[in-house]
Structure 1
Amino acid sequence: MEYVAFDDAETYEPDEGWQRRALAGSDQFTFEWFEKPPGHSSPMHDHENEQVCVCLQGELTVHTEDESVTLSENDSVHLASWESHRVENASDERAVGLDVFAPGRGFDFWTDRE
């Protein structure tokens, strides 16, 4: 068993107010808790990992090249490997979500970007 206390989890802040925490996971899958400040959007990107994004608080809009969907609390969306996307908090309130990646990945996806 691998226990990860939320307050002790590895953290990363790609942009001011956009915080990510690495929760328990493995090479096969990882869980990343995140919060997005009002008006923030990740850049359009893709990756080898399949991804499920779950909205835990507020609203998150997930944009792909072909469509957009707004997630409310407890809604989720699946993104296929290499599907270009970005996640936006278009509201005036903080949004919180959970990303699940398979296979698992680390924060180096963001830190090693040009």
Structure 2
Amino acid sequence: MEVIKYHKAESYEPEKNWKRVSLCNQKDISIEYFIKPPKHSSPKHKHPNAQVLIVLEGKLAVWTEKDGEVILDKYDTVYIEGDEEHIVTNPLDEPSVGIDIFVPGRSFDFWLKRKELLK
């Protein structure tokens, strides 16, 4: 068993006020808590890992080429297949909060390694 205390967990901000916290970082699964600032959009991106995104507070819009944009409310969940290009946006004027689960696990520094995607 491995316990991760939130206040001691690894964290960083890929962009100002976009906080990501590693709650589990294993080869077979990784879980990241995030705070997405108002009106923030991730760049269009993809990764080989399947992703489950859960909205804990606020709203998030998720766009894929295949499905267009869907709006997720508090406690809604979306499954994004591995290698599917997507964009996640907070449409609100206040922060939104969520959990990302990746299978297999992805490197926690994903966004730090993709500085070219960030504006």
In the superposition, the TM-score normalised over structure 2's length comes to: 0.92
- Tell me by how many angstroms 1:65 deviates: 1.4
CA distance in 2, matches of 1:62, 1:106: 21
CA distance in 2, matches of 1:16, 1:64: 24
Query: Moved runs in structure 1, 4+ residues, more than 3 A?
Result: none
Gaps of 5+ in 1: none
- Tell me by how many angstroms 1:25 deviates: 4.1
Equivalent AA in structure 1 for residue 31 of structure 2: F
The question of whether the paired residues in 2 share the 8 Å contact of 1:12 and 1:107 is answered with no
The question of whether the paired residues in 1 share the 8 Å contact of 2:52 and 2:100 is answered with yes
CA distance in 1, matches of 2:16, 2:91: 16
- Tell me by how many angstroms 1:108 deviates: 2.7
Give a deviation string over 1:49-93, Cα, whole Å, max 9, x none. Answer: 000000000000001113111111110000001000011001111
CA distance in 2, matches of 1:42, 1:3: 29
- Identical aligned residues as a percent: 46
User: Which residue of structure 2 aligns with residue 89 of structure 1?
Assistant: 90
User: Which residue of structure 1 aligns with residue 23 of structure 2?
Assistant: 23
Please show how residues 70-109 of structure 1 align to structure 2 within 5 Å: 70-109=71-110
The question of whether the paired residues in 1 share the 8 Å contact of 2:55 and 2:72 is answered with yes
CA distance in 2, matches of 1:13, 1:107: 12
Gaps of 5+ in 2: none
